[in-house]
Amino acid sequence: MLNPVPDERDGEARLLLPEGFHYRSFHDTATPVILDDGTTLPARHDGMAAFGARNGKVWLVRNHEVNGPGPAFGPGTPYDPMARGGTTSVLVDQFGVVDRAFTSLNGTQMNCAGGRMPWGSWITCEETVNGPDVGPDFTGASNTTLTQPHGFIYEVPAGGQGSRDPITAAGRFLHEAAAFDPGEGVLYLTEDNFGFPSGLYRYLSPGRRREHDGGIRDGGRLQMLAVRGRPGAELAAAQDPGARYRVTWVDIDDPARVFPYTPGQTAPTTNDQALRHVGDQGRSQGAARFSRLEGAVFDRGTLWFTSTQGGGAAEASDGPIADGYGNGSGQVWAYHPRSATLRLAYQSPGPDVLDLPDNVTVRRRGGALVICEDGTNGNYLRGLSPSGQLFDIAKNNLAGQLNDEFAGATFGPDGHTLYVNIQASRALSLAIWGPWQRLGV
């Protein structure tokens, strides 16, 4: 059972938690937060990863999913001086007390999720294909003031400055999350293409070995998952319990297209050619179709990832795709690279049980998945046990913002604390601790 628990910052009950759990919030943008570099902290806290630091402290590298053109935040030379997203890095203790914080990547857009790399860096992903080479984005905002194409991934070391050079060979599409297989040196990437089919990708960095070499390099090969013997498999549709598929991978020959466009001319828009360019290459070769792939984590030889609106009615496999593609409450998939098999681990029977699963993480090897919801009925942190049982971990109790999503869940290296964000125009981060073993996390 979840009950209101006072925030150790000021006593306000912002979360419902199980007995024995505590938390502290920090970097609440209800009032301006000034970082150590003089920057006003952006809102829309999203994906995040935790890394060990000295004296038991933790570095958090945190995304800010800010869209729309405007001056970049933070000092230094941004990738695009007219893009407002990026990452901030925060040094905290295991009880959420902030030591220092600064801008670690700027001039990017819609930094949604990403992934923790085992050598101590965060891959941050742009969930957009905006740029001066495409027409107005899905909000109708002009892109003509942007100076660079967007839709790429970037690497940010814990406690340091991220590279402003995107890894373009990993594709220009609506990137969501990244997860690294250290045994094969493969970077898996999810796509959250709202209103259109999405794909699961893998990036083969040049010179990769069976163990990581300390960085993701540009110039590699991008591939997209396909089901053997079922070209264009419609995996967004409701699946039989425990559905299992043999899979293969198809190459994407043109992963980083920059479109020829000048203002006043007809251009691809983010709901047309530019938005689907990469995925259409894979689907023309039979790649599988999912609905809104978001969170991903690699654990004990398995890639776990969420299909946020998967599990609904079947969709047509050809012809125009209507807005709102995918109408289910969500799926959790498990990909086993050693056997090249894909397995349905969980399919939500309805929003009252699991409502639009998004970011995922694990506390310990082989433990339960921790899932962030992005629904509209009051959002939870849920746990999914290895046997497929769902349970509650926390519920958003933020006054006036009950439907704001949890995002960026990540455990500190010792497993004591779960760091997580509540994302909105007013955003905050939280440190949660308690008897995790009792929950099976």
Find the range with the poorest average confidence among 200-214, 238-252, 265-279, 382-396. Answer: 200-214
Q: Which of 90, 126, 88, 85 is nearest to 104 (CA)?
A: 88
Q: Which residues, listed in sequence order, are joined to residue 74 by a DSSP beta bridge?
A: none
- Residue ranges of the domains in the chain? 1-31+348-441
Q: What is the pLDDT of residue 25?
A: 98
Cα gap 378→356, rounded to integer Å: 11
- Token digits for 212? 């990581």
**Can you tell me which residue has the tokens 């970037």?**
154
Q: What residues have CB less than 8 Å from 139, skipping those under 6 apart?
A: 67, 68
| Cβ proximity of 100 and 66 under 8 Å | no
Cα gap 109→172, rounded to integer Å: 13
Q: What is the pLDDT of residue 208?
A: 66
For residue range 299-355, list pLDDT tens digits in order: 999 999 999 999 987 654 443 344 446 789 999 999 999 999 999 999 999 999 999
- Token digits for 206? 């040049």
| Cβ proximity of 288 and 200 under 8 Å | yes
DSSP state of 231: T
Distances in Å between the Cα of 390 and the Cα atoms of 17, 20, 201, 305, 402 are: 16, 20, 27, 16, 21
- Compute the Cα dihedral for 116, 171, 220, 288 and give only its sign: positive
Q: Is the pLDDT of residue 261 over 80?
A: no
Looking at per-residue pLDDT, the higher value among 215 and 97 belongs to 97
DSSP assignment string, 138-170: TTS---TT--S----EEEEETTSPPPSS--GGG
**Residue type for position 170:** A
DSSP assignment string, 227-253: ETT-TT-BTTB---TT-EEEEEEEE-S
**Can you tell me which residue has the tokens 């045994």?**
183
| Percent residues over pLDDT 90 in the chain | 84
- Token digits for 397? 């109790």
- Token digits for 174? 């609506």
State the DSSP H helix or E strand holding residue 275, giving kind and residue range, or none if neither: helix 273-283
State the DSSP H helix or E strand holding residue 61, giving kind and residue range, or none if neither: strand 58-64
- Token digits for 1? 């059972």
Cα gap 315→197, rounded to integer Å: 10
For residue range 95-153, list pLDDT tens digits in order: 999 999 999 999 999 999 999 999 999 999 999 999 999 888 777 777 889 999 999 99
Q: What residues have CB less than 8 Å from 196, skipping those under 6 apart?
A: 271, 275, 276, 279, 321, 325
| Cβ proximity of 44 and 423 under 8 Å | yes
For residue range 156-212, list pLDDT tens digits in order: 999 999 999 999 999 999 999 999 999 899 999 999 998 889 999 999 998 765 445
Q: What residues have CB less than 8 Å from 417, skipping those under 6 apart?
A: 58, 94, 95, 96, 411, 431, 432, 433
Give the predicted TM-score (pTM) of the model: 0.96
**Can you tell me which residue has the tokens 């349905």?**
344
Q: What is the pLDDT of residue 321?
A: 43
Q: Mind spelling out the 3-state secondary structure of 358-384?
A: EEEEECCCCCCEEEEECCCCCCEEEEE
**Can you tell me which residue has the tokens 């905290």?**
92
Q: What distance separates the 2 farthest-apart alpha carbons in the chain?
A: 61
| Cβ proximity of 190 and 293 under 8 Å | yes
Count other C-beta atoms under 10 Å from residue 408's C-beta: 30
Cα gap 264→345, rounded to integer Å: 48
Q: Give me the chain's average pLDDT, please.
A: 93
Q: What is the pLDDT of residue 215?
A: 85
Count CA atoms closer than 13 A to 320's CA, side-chain side: 5
